[in-house]
Structure 1
Amino acid sequence: MEIKEINENKLQTILRFSVPSIIAMLLQTAITITDGYFTGNYVGENALAAINLGLPILYFYLGVGLCVGVGGSVICGRLLGAKDKQKASEVFSQTVVTAAVICILTSLAVFLLFSPILKVLRADGELSVYFTEYYRIMLVNYPLMVIGTILGMFIRADGKPQVCMLVSIVSCVLNAVLDYILVGRLAMGVQGSAVASLIVQVFAVIVQLGYFLKPSISIRFRRFSFDTAVNKETFFNGSSEFIGEMASAISMFAFNYVLMKYVGTEGVAAFTILGFAVYGYSMIAIGFGQGITPLISICWGAKEQKTAMELRRITNKILFIIGLIFAVFFFVFGKSYAGVFGCSGSVADMVSAGFRIYAVTFLFMGYDVINSMYFTSCGDALSSALISSLRGIVLLLAFTFIFPAIWGMTGVWLAAPTTEVLTAVVSAGLIMKQKKMIESR
């Protein structure tokens, strides 16, 4: 991708790189919702709640994947902008190997800590059984998911986001078919859902690995010696993404703890169902972020900072419009949406009430996500980490423990919107600070 091509039509370039990423991310969301549909309708609310209790484990793996993947792909993008394809390939190879080692060790550690985790979460009886059946299989699946995510980032950095989209389309269809067979027809319960996910991830990784065997691509697997400086920069560049996902893990753990304390299993189920919609919007935001990340890193590598800032502004405007559509839709049709998951009337009422408050989140979340990923692409990991820390740990955790103690379930719904609004104020200040710095040069 050349700077001249980016400057000629910024909106078209953003969409060309982002739309395939968004479709891929939405299809990943569709896989999650499909799993939720079959689990809720064929296994029950307790199974949904058990899966939700373990989501902090998923967020940790996502944090590793985004930290190593985004950090490595940003370095790779700058090297491609500087026309150094050999070093870019070495960075790619080291990134994949590093992520694989970390994830395998993590799975072994979590497997050994199952019992303490269940005790902390206060999960017993049926919840404990569902949790164990599902996550023992997912501990094999998650490392593959991380590798697949990282391979997709480098495929985008190579200028072929359409490949990721096609893999996601086939994966989504395959997952739905397998869920229907294993959960719906063979009644394998949560184990069937986990096995379906595992098969899909194996397929996705094999296909994406095949892409890098093509002779015509710019990035390929290459023999390398571990470069400590590259690893250090990778983790530094991706630190905000890791903080963001770890924050999601910590906040999810906190939400589950608070919900079990003040509301019970129905509250966890309601939060899970609403969470699918929020997850869907966040995937759109992350899809845009992944789409513009290689463009911005290339711009900075070529000393075209003003072009990078314009790409960010256009993307933020697009996401605000999409967020407004989400907010209006779920504000109006929240209860009907909840009914799709086969939940009880009381849970559907909780979800409907939640959307009336939570809708504000859609208006600000995209702004915060894009700005965080933008700063990462610029090499400003500190600003990116500040945004991620505020929206995922500092403000969110404080509001998660304070608001429910005062307002109960209403307080649970208020925590995230308040966090995103306040973070957006700080984020805007950081953007203005960078703008003044660039204009003063």
Structure 2
Amino acid sequence: MKIQLSDHFSYKKLLRFTLPSIVMMIFTSIYGVVDGLFVSNFVGKTAFAAVNFIMPLLMMLSTIGFMIGVGGSALVAKTLGEGDNERANKYFSLLVYSVIAAGIVISILGEIFIEPIAYSLGARGEMLNNCVLYSRILFISLTMFMLQNVFQSLFVTAEKPKIGLAVTVTAGCINIVMDFLLIGVFNFGIAGAAIATAMSETFGGLFPIIYFSRKNKSHLKLGKTRFMGKVLLKACTNGSSELMTNISMSLVNMLYNIQLMNLAGENGVAAYGVIMYVNFIFIAIFLGYSIGSAPIIGYNYGSPN
């Protein structure tokens, strides 16, 4: 039985509705884990340390997607609850287009400045080269990854959390298969890990664009809109807690990596990377629940319920 935002939610129904979002976030967190698994086993310690060293920076830059996705989904859901589907779709389109624009700008700046940034964080020699190579490949798909983060929330608002889950699981499987082929079979090294992740992120961001650009069975569809600064600011304000949570986690991880690099070298960074992977999975459970429940609250806030 399909669960709608307008339903009365018991604890059981709430858990059923948010479960796809929880699983979705767990699979998203597995991206880095899979890369680390293959890199550590097939490429070596230095490359593994490089992935763990630069990943917090990449995650921090992509948090704009989380911010607009979570904050915007509540705003769109509230507007749907008010019964104004046309305005909700304009808000929805504005959020998606804004993320695309922000992603392109961040990607270009990242491609230009990643080497001095990695150097300033403490990467040297082969590790610096690995950090730069891995990052520059992932900056190509950063916009798609940000879109994937946005649509993780908006699929829930569209009452299609299972489609969002299917997209994320498929993207995760692409990452695993391509990691195996590019690293384990073709020996592409750390570049193979980055390409595999980029391919999975591209699918995760592109499929929802195609889905919402066409006629679909949800309340939402991409279309014409206009720039609405107040709406965008409201979405960013709503999602600022998600932004700060992700930024703070990334900053803490970056600071740990800097100190570990000084005190224990690559071994310390690699060891801390294993701990981070486990931590990501547990945090994903709570993030998934918040993503899944936010549209429910927003919808009922906007409706006469």
**Alignment correspondent of 2:237:** 236
2:144 is equivalent to residue 122 of structure 1: no
Alpha-carbon distance in structure 1 between the residues aligned to 2:149 and 2:116: 29
The residue identity in structure 2 corresponding to 1:269 is A
The CA deviation string for residues 322-365 of structure 1, in whole angstroms up to 9 with x for no partner, is xxxxxxxxxxxxxxxxxxxxxxxxxxxxxxxxxxxxxxxxxxxx
Mapping 1:12-23, distance limit 5 Å: 12-23=12-23
Higher relative contact order (CA 8 A, sep 6+): 2
1:236-385 alignment, distance < 5 Å: 236-302=237-303
1:182 has 2:179 as partner: no
2:61 matched to which residue of 1? 61
Structure-2 separation of matches of 1:149 and 1:214: 22
In 2: Cα distance, 1:27 partner to 1:160 partner: 17
Matches within 5 A, 1:83-162: 83-162=83-162
Instruction: Show the 5 A alignment for 1:171-250.
Output: 171-212=171-212, 213-250=214-251
**8 A Cα contact 2:49 2:273, kept in partner:** yes
How far apart, in 1, do the equivalents of 2:205 and 2:116 lie?
32
Return the offset for 1:131. Answer: 0.7
Hey, what's the Cα distance between the residues in 2 that align with 1:156 and 1:261?
44
Which 4+ stretches in 1 moved above 6 angstroms? Answer: none
Q: Deviations over 1:82-104 (max 9, x none)?
A: 11111110001000111111111
After superposition, give the CA deviation of every residue in 1:136-157 in whole Å (9 maximum; x if it has no partner): 1010122111112212321110
Decide whether the 8 Å contact of 2:65 with 2:149 is kept in 1. Answer: yes
Contact 1:183 1:190 in 2 (8 A): yes
Contact (CA 8 Å) 1:60, 1:249: kept in 2 or not? yes
**What CA distance in whole angstroms lies between the structure 2 residues aligned with 1:232 and 1:29?**
28
Corresponding residue pairs, total: 301
Shift of 1:32: 2.3
- 1:387 aligns with none
The answer to whether the 8 Å contact 1:70/1:237 transfers is yes
Q: Distance in 1 between matches of 2:137 and 2:15?
A: 36
What is the Cα deviation at residue 303 of structure 1?
6.4
Compute the RMSD of aligned alpha carbons.
1.6
Moved more, 112-121 or 43-52: 112-121
| Residue type of the alignment partner of 2:8 | I
Match of 1:417 in 2: none
2:36 maps to amino acid: G
Corresponding position of 1:332: none
8 Å CA contact 2:144–2:206 kept in 1: the answer is no
**Cα distance between partner residues in 2 of 1:121 and 1:90:** 41
How many Å separate the matches in 2 of 1:115 and 1:30?
26
- What SS does the corresponding residue of 1:219 show, helix, strand or coil? coil
Q: Contact (CA 8 Å) 2:146, 2:205: kept in 1 or not?
A: no
The separation in 1 between residues aligned to 2:231 and 2:5, in whole angstroms, is 24
Give the Å deviation of 1:2. Answer: 4.9
Report whether the alignment pairs 1:47 with 2:47. yes
1:386-405 mapped onto 2 (5 Å cutoff): none
Residue 217 of structure 1 aligns to a residue whose secondary structure is: coil
Match of 1:6 in 2: 8
Consecutive unaligned residues in structure 1, runs of 5 or more? 305-441
Cα 1:25–1:220 change in 2 (3 A) is same
Answer yes or no: is the 8 Å Cα contact 1:59–1:248 preserved in 2. no
The CA distance in 2 between the partners of 1:23 and 1:195, in whole Å, is 24
Q: Structure 2: which amino acid aligns with 1:6?
A: H
Question: SS in structure 2 opposite 1:187?
Answer: coil
| 1:226-269 alpha-carbon deviations (Å, 9 max, x no partner) | 11111121121111211122212321221111212222221111
Distance 1:2 1:18 in 2: 12
Task: Look up the SS of the partner of 1:221 in the other structure.
Answer: coil
Query: In the alignment, which residue of structure 2 is the partner of 1:168?
Result: 168
Distance of aligned partners of 1:203 and 1:63 in 2 relative to their CA distance in 1, 3 Å threshold: closer
If the length of structure 1 is used for normalisation, what is the TM-score? Answer: 0.65
